[in-house]
Amino acid sequence: MSGWEQSAITIATFLPLAGALVIAMVPREKERVVRGLGIVFTGAAFLVSIVIALGFDYGVGSKLQFELDVRWIAAINARYHVGVDGISLPLYVLTFALSFLCAIYTWRFVPSPGKTKAFLALMLLLETGMAGTFIAFDLILFFIFWEMVLVPMYFLIAIWGSANREYAAIKFFLYTVFGSVFMLLGFLGMYFRSDVAGHHSFDLLRLTNFAAAGGFSHGFQLVVFGAVGLGLAIKVPMWPFHTWLPDAHTEAPTVGSVLLAGVLLKMGTYGFIRIALPVLPYGAQKFAPWIGLLAAIAIVYAALACLAQKDLKRLIAFSSVGHMGFVMLGIATLTSIGINAAIFGMVAHGLITGMLFFLVGSVYDRYHTRQIAEIGGGMMQKLPYLGGVLAFVSIASLGLPGLAGFWGEVMALLSSFNPSHAAGLNTGLFRGFMVAGGIGTIITAGYFLWMLQRVNMGTLPERWKEAAFPDIVAVEWVSWVPLLVGIVALGIFPRLIFGVTDGAVNGLLRLFGAA
């Protein structure tokens, strides 16, 4: 194995951190240099991630590639073990892509109160934490990257957020920490019950093998799945742990919302697929109906909540809860279709909802309000391009066939028609969830179209007639076009994702075949 293969993902993951340090040293006055460095570093990291994706051997997606496994903390046998497989690669690349586009967007739009230097440094720090989560194959390493996103995101919301920012920021922080420390206790439980050649281990692959050989007792798996699942569920967030999300997403600055929705939420669902399922297969089987139930509730609840929203950004935030419900429903079926759908859903949601938050940010930039009633309709007359893109992305989000949002949802529903028999899941129950999810999609279509009717259609209110709003500007086009292309491309060629994930997902599900 060449040095490049061993170091590539480490380089990509830590480039943003290096960027943050460099930016911190640039004098405050050199505003353009700071913004330029943000683009350069996120761009370089994105480029490396593309090279990794090109070098990835798609024939063996279930095999860990670009792997590096070195000693880190001898005292607890924690290792710096990183790599990518078919499950993590799409999310890994998505992280760099979204961060890069956010850096481009920041070239023109720095949220009040400015302080570009700190803003970009925190964003880059956040990027390292997010990317690291998707490559860590050691539980301690995973946990550290997982927690590393908290402090930057707290400040991004608390400093650059809107009116209620401090409340939202602390709520986000406390809620997530509360869940993740239980997750840590669960990891410690796994560690002490594991026995790999006479040693306890935090290594994900070794723990998976140990679990596959029946190393963890059933009672133990139930308890630990509860602890780890709580931490992951808060991050996703699953209903009823979702209450931090509408506040955080609504109050965060545009870039913060994009990264929160686009990447941060996926850390939770990814954790289920990467850790909870393979290491605790029995726990997963027993919890699956409950996860399915919460997911079904989330879908319907979020859709109903969206109908009642008056704030455009809060509406998008609540729609995230529903979309993550579909992802969790797919995971809960423990089938190949379901988990493939979940990963597809994560990437699609990252593109679509990330894009929606960009749009809301730009709408606010023009109108200085996010209240649907105050915008008052007629945006298609005033800002035809912005209105058109908003309509396009909203329709993608409600799951129109041919666009990215479709595959994740429809396949999640499809998989719940026939949940895993090997895992002993109740078919009738999951078909019930499917019906609930189906109802959710109808309401989702309803609230998106209603929102478009109130924002885009109708006559322009008097108060905006004279306003000098620019339509979509160059920087916005540059940062949005890749997302729009991605939404169409994934809709037409779902194999772009399924081709990558399928092998890895089937490898994972072999653990359940025997159970």
User: Among all chains, which residue has been given the structure tokens 């405050």?
Assistant: 28
Phi, psi of 481 (to 5 degrees): -55, -45
User: Among all chains, which residue has been given the structure tokens 């190949």?
Assistant: 336
CB atoms within 10 A of CB 151: 14
Looking at 86-94, 151-159, 294-302, 360-368, which segment touches other proteins (CB under 8 A)? 151-159
Name which position in 5, 6, 63, 189 contacts other proteins (CB under 8 A): 189
Name which position in 100, 109, 155, 480 contacts other proteins (CB under 8 A): 155
Residue 26 near other proteins by CB under 8 A: no
Quote the tokens at residue 40.
């350069």
What is the 3-state composition of the chain as percent helix, strand, coil, each rounded to the nearest 5?
A: 75, 5, 20
Q: Which is nearer to other proteins, 74 or 468 (CB)?
A: 74
- Total of chain residues touching other proteins, rule CB under 8 A: 29
Q: Which is nearer to other proteins, 201 or 415 (CB)?
A: 201
Name which position in 144, 307, 429, 457 contacts other proteins (CB under 8 A): 144
Q: Which is nearer to other proteins, 180 or 319 (CB)?
A: 180
CB within 8 Å of 497: residues ≥ 6 apart: 90, 343, 344, 347, 490
Q: Which is nearer to other proteins, 143 or 301 (CB)?
A: 143
In angstroms, the first-to-last Cα distance of the chain is 35
Name which position in 5, 31, 69, 166 contacts other proteins (CB under 8 A): 166
User: Among all chains, which residue has been given the structure tokens 């796994």?
Assistant: 190
How far is the C-alpha of 88 from the C-alpha of 84, rounded, in Å?
Answer: 6
**Closest by Cα among 141, 401, 97 to 262:** 97
Q: Which is nearer to other proteins, 73 or 442 (CB)?
A: 73
Looking at 169-177, 252-260, 354-362, 456-464, which segment touches other proteins (CB under 8 A)? 169-177
Report angle CA 358, 9, 149 to the nearest 5 degrees. 45
Using CB atoms within 10 Å of the CB of residue 514, give its burial: 0 to 12 exposed, 13 to 18 middle, 19+ buried.
exposed
As measured in angstroms, the least distance from the Cβ of 75 to other proteins is 5
Residue 185 near other proteins by CB under 8 A: yes
Looking at 172-180, 285-293, 381-389, 417-425, which segment touches other proteins (CB under 8 A)? 172-180
**Closest by Cα among 38, 138, 148, 24 to 81:** 138
As measured in angstroms, the least distance from the Cβ of 154 to other proteins is 8
How far is the C-alpha of 155 from the C-alpha of 43, rounded, in Å?
Answer: 23
Q: Which is nearer to other proteins, 178 or 392 (CB)?
A: 178
As measured in angstroms, the least distance from the Cβ of 128 to other proteins is 10
As measured in angstroms, the least distance from the Cβ of 243 to other proteins is 16
Quote the tokens at residue 168.
């939202």
Q: Which is nearer to other proteins, 173 or 512 (CB)?
A: 173
Residue 216 near other proteins by CB under 8 A: no
Residue 188 near other proteins by CB under 8 A: yes
List the beta bridge partners of residue 81: 69
Name which position in 11, 53, 150, 489 contacts other proteins (CB under 8 A): 150
How far is the C-alpha of 349 from the C-alpha of 513, rounded, in Å?
Answer: 29
As measured in angstroms, the least distance from the Cβ of 345 to other proteins is 29
As measured in angstroms, the least distance from the Cβ of 148 to other proteins is 5
Amino acid identity of residue 134, one-letter, is F
Name which position in 94, 104, 184, 230 contacts other proteins (CB under 8 A): 184
Residue 334's alpha-carbon distances to 5, 241, 337, 339, in angstroms, are: 32, 22, 9, 7
Binding-residue pattern over the window 46 to 75 for other proteins, x denoting contact by CB under 8 A? --------------------------xxxx
Phi, psi of 385 (to 5 degrees): -70, -45
List the beta bridge partners of residue 80: 70
Name which position in 76, 373, 481, 485 contacts other proteins (CB under 8 A): 76
Residue 148 near other proteins by CB under 8 A: yes
Cis peptide before 240 (omega within 30 of 0): yes
H or E element at residue 71? strand 65-73
Name which position in 173, 367, 433, 498 contacts other proteins (CB under 8 A): 173
What is the contact surface with other proteins in residues (CB under 8 A)?
72-76, 143-144, 147-148, 150-151, 154-155, 158-159, 166, 170, 173-174, 177-178, 181-182, 184-185, 188-189, 191-192
